[in-house]
A and B are shown apart, each in its own frame.
Chain A
């Protein structure tokens, strides 16, 4: 089975990730997921691709820490985080988060917390590739 926390160049399958999540416990009554995708338009410009750079070892370590913290903070039964690096095309998947709990509220809350914290804490950078040139993205609050 694939690791619950990964960074990888290739695309991921939401179905496979949820099968893996559900395999961890039959007590799971609620699963919340988030998929971040590459938009084809940003700041008034057409975006054809997004390129991701990462400090890989620290990114994975921080994502594992986030998962552990989310499990403890929200009482999750399991959680999975997958982030792609390299070049992804407009419309493609970038990041996957799943949180499984006994009930829906902690699953939903944990899912939002995980993506918000990931954006703040995980050393990954994105560059938008447009017909007018490339530009590194300045984080939004």
Chain B
């Protein structure tokens, strides 16, 4: 299982702050993004960054592992 978290405006558009996605061997970050983007297109219009296990990831071809925590995030607006 992959735990996917959403925050702020992305969570609002998803209607949830957390979803669980079944892990499959060979699954890449871009596969997970595509799967969720198809389900929550309005939310993913805002997504600019992804993080895996708390570290921002640029390489969307990153192979995922069972138990990863993945976050799709919009631009930050703290401070």
Contact = CB atoms under 8 A, between A and B. Distances in A.
Interface string B1-37: 0000101110110000000000000000000000000
B48 to A, nearest CB: 10
B51 interface: yes
B77 A126 contact: yes
Main secondary structure of the interface of B (DSSP, over half): mixed
A55 B5 contact: yes
Given A127-B8, A136-B9, A55 B71 contact: yes
Contacts of A124: 76-79
Interface string A117-131: 011111111110000
Chain A interface mostly helix, strand, loop or mixed?
mixed
Interface string B38-75: 00000000000101001110000000000000010111
A68 interface: no
B12 A123 contact: no
A115 B8 contact: no
Interface of A: 36, 52-55, 57-59, 61, 83, 94-95, 115, 118-127, 136-139
Interface of B: 5, 7-9, 11-12, 49, 51, 54-56, 71, 73-79
